[in-house]
Amino acid sequence: MISRIRQTWDNHPLPLILVMAAVCRLVAAIFARGWGMFDDHFLVIESAQSWVDHAQANQWLPSGLANHGPTGHLLLYPGLHYLLFSFLKLLGLTDPQGKMIVVRLLHGAYSLLTIILGYRIAEKLDGRSSARLCALLLAILWFMPWLSVRNLVEAVCVPCLMAGFWIMVRKEEHRYEFQAFLFSGLLFGLAADIRLQSILFPVGAGVVLLLSRRWVPLLGLATGTVAGIFLVLGIIDLALWGTPFAELFEYISLNIADKECFTTFPWYNYLALLAGILIPPVSLFFLFGAVKSGARYPLISIPALLFLVFHMIFVNRQERFILPVIPFVILLGVIGWNRFIRQLRLRTIQRKVLQGCWIFFWMINLLLLAVATVNYSKRSRAETMCYLAKYAGIGGILVADEDDAPELFPRFYLGQWPVMFDTFSGRDSLEGAISRARQAPENDRPGFILFPGNERLPERVAKIRESFPGIVYETTIEPGLIDQVLHRLNPINQNNVIIIYRNTDLFPVRRD
């Protein structure tokens, strides 16, 4: 058996790597519940389910009572989830956690395309050895399975980008360059339909083609990219608003206007992030190799560099923004590093040092992989709403959080769409949220009060009791272990314990 596995690894490694990747993603789909960041739940799952339930919770669409026009959200990806949830509803699957397992399974299967295409590109450029290592890293690098089952558009656009580059790399096998680059452009356009900033990849490739005066493939790439964007975003906006690209232009406008309203890390933060998450010192091998590969493979390296530099310059520098470039850093890094090592005449001691670096890398990677793949992220907030789902007819929920650390709760897991009286996005102070809850119509009065965190808890409870004297303690929902660690390392990670109080005026009896 060992001999057969070794033979497969030497001669046909991709099927073996795909099995490892599939197992890890299956585990993540089952156990890695919750969500990673705000966008992968509230801008995708919450929106889609509210449309299915005719709640229009986000007021994005023209049918929303409070909608006054485009809100700057690309609707393809949430729209696909709307179709999926509508289909699951027809099948009778209504449990939120069950629906999310289906979503994660589909995303995990879809992510296997990145591994296959990464292997093919690396094999085409540098042979089986580099292809095997590249695919293995894309399969079981410690954060890859967890990331692959998330609803982050920055990760979902990657297979389309990989497919576009694979077509360009294997252009020698095409009789007609125009058609090949046209198809590549269509895939790049589809990636931009999911994550607009992905447009920087075909722009970078277009610059390379322009400088090398390759007019025919340049025309094909440009035509395909524009067509890919228009046929999706243009038609969706035309159908909704009567104007093509209405949401697209609003998205660009809002991102420019609000560029300083979010995370603004130093420009070099992305380089430090890459060096850290790819596990040093081997991460430095990858970065060095990517630089070495730059001149040799400009059709890949220039687009990746343009994407990275743009995000380093743009003021809003959230970590997730550079997720699309990480597979390309791995791809170029592996190829460049392997080429560099093959050209050296290493002494025995140097080989042992390198071997030790790789042993350290794989030990740390497997340890982190085991933890990250089953990480239930944002557990306390998701489980809070799952707990409350046993109460039917909840009209309102008051979130008594600290004014400087507001939290948003996912009504998707509640299965209902009550009014949320909270301070999220700085819309109001806690006193203002209480006032709005007190003045709300009877059907919208808060049946439950959520207290994120233990800080000044007695004071907050007393303040709520002044307006709602009938509240009683219900239960406490604890965050997951990794959530607790992240919160202690950096309180900006809002992974608090949630204390639930019940308003006995509306729900006199606790339900078990």
| pTM of the full structure | 0.93
Of 239, 145, 229, whose CA–CA distance to 192 is shortest? 229
Can you give the pLDDT at residue 441? Answer: 92
Can you give the pLDDT at residue 395? Answer: 94
Can you give the pLDDT at residue 490? Answer: 67
Can you give the pLDDT at residue 64? Answer: 61
How far is it, in rounded angstroms, from Cα 444 to Cα 419? 6
446-452/471-477 β-pairing? unpaired
Average pLDDT, the chain: 91
Judge whether 381 and 410 are in contact, CB under 8 Å. Answer: yes
Q: What are the tokens at 165?
A: 């580059």
Which residues of the chain, if any, have pLDDT below 70?
64-67, 172-175, 258-264, 403-406, 424-428, 489-493
Judge whether 440 and 421 are in contact, CB under 8 Å. Answer: yes
Can you give the pLDDT at residue 406? Answer: 65
Can you give the pLDDT at residue 265? Answer: 72
First-to-last CA distance in the chain? 51
- DSSP structure class, residue 69: S
Alpha helices in 127-245 (DSSP H): 128-140, 144-148, 153-156, 158-169, 177-194, 200-211, 215-229, 235-241
Q: What are the tokens at 460?
A: 């907050």
Can you give the pLDDT at residue 512? Answer: 81
How far is it, in rounded angstroms, from Cα 227 to Cα 193? 11
Tens-place pLDDT, residues 14-34: 999 999 999 999 999 999 999
Tens-place pLDDT, residues 88-119: 999 999 999 999 999 999 999 999 999 999 99
How far is it, in rounded angstroms, from Cα 24 to Cα 30? 10
Can you give the pLDDT at residue 306? Answer: 97
